[in-house]
Chain A
Amino acid sequence: QVQLVQSGAEVKKPGASVKVSCKASGYTFSSYGITWVRQAPGQGLEWMGWISAYNGDTNYAQKFQGRVTMTTDTSTSTAYMELRSLRSDDTAVYYCARAPSDWGQGTLVTVSS
């Protein structure tokens, strides 16, 4: 069965960077894209962007342009999302997904001084 397993919770200081990983199994990784979605505490879902695991093409939400980089490593079937210049309002659970049906368990990123 399809599984997406994300890296563990992170605590970062404002201005730092975080890199969240998402290891896929149960399907041909390079045949599908990976979507990243985040959810701030008590808030709704926010689409961050998408990366093709086939050729690395990306599409980022304008809000994150210049601060986010999504990458994949087909040798390990792992996707990564790096967010830089963290602010307190980046505190959220970050999800990877093989949209729409398969989701990771989420990674809590806390940004606090």
Chain B
Amino acid sequence: DIQMTQSPSSLSASVGDRVTITCRASQGISYYLAWFQQKPGKAPKSLIYAASNLQSGVPSKFSGSGSGTDFTLTITSLQPEDFATYYCQQYNTYPFTFGQGTRLEI
């Protein structure tokens, strides 16, 4: 199985900050990488697909980049509603594994 490793596992930031979360795949996955946001008690919400494509309705403060094995999710101008847990997921090879998550805290 392809292992997805996110860093950091947790991150403290302030309203208005810009943050970057990294996701590394144990082998190349081209651009088949998605990012999700999850809030407590809620289903995950899709933010980014194909490494850098914004899901419909997602604000442009979220952006993704990378290909191969190294990917990043950047969030600018943090607002209170952005504090959540973020997951990456590869969908290049079955099983479509998730990273362990990054908890973004105020």
Contact = CB atoms under 8 A, between A and B. Distances in A.
A44, A95, A97, A106: which has the most chain B beta carbons within 10 Å? A44
A100 interface: yes
A91 to B, nearest CB: 16
B43 A104 contact: yes
> Is the contact region of chain B dominated by helix, strand, or loop, or is it mixed?
loop
Contact of A47 (B43, B97, B100): B97
Interface string B1-44: 10000000000000000000000000000000010101000011
A105 interface: yes
Given A104-B43, A105-B43, A44 B100 contact: yes
Interface residues of B, number: 22
Nearest to B100: A44
Given A44-B87, A45-B44, A45-B89, A100 B55 contact: yes
A16 interface: no
Interface of B: 1, 34, 36, 38, 43-46, 49, 55-56, 87, 89, 91, 94-101
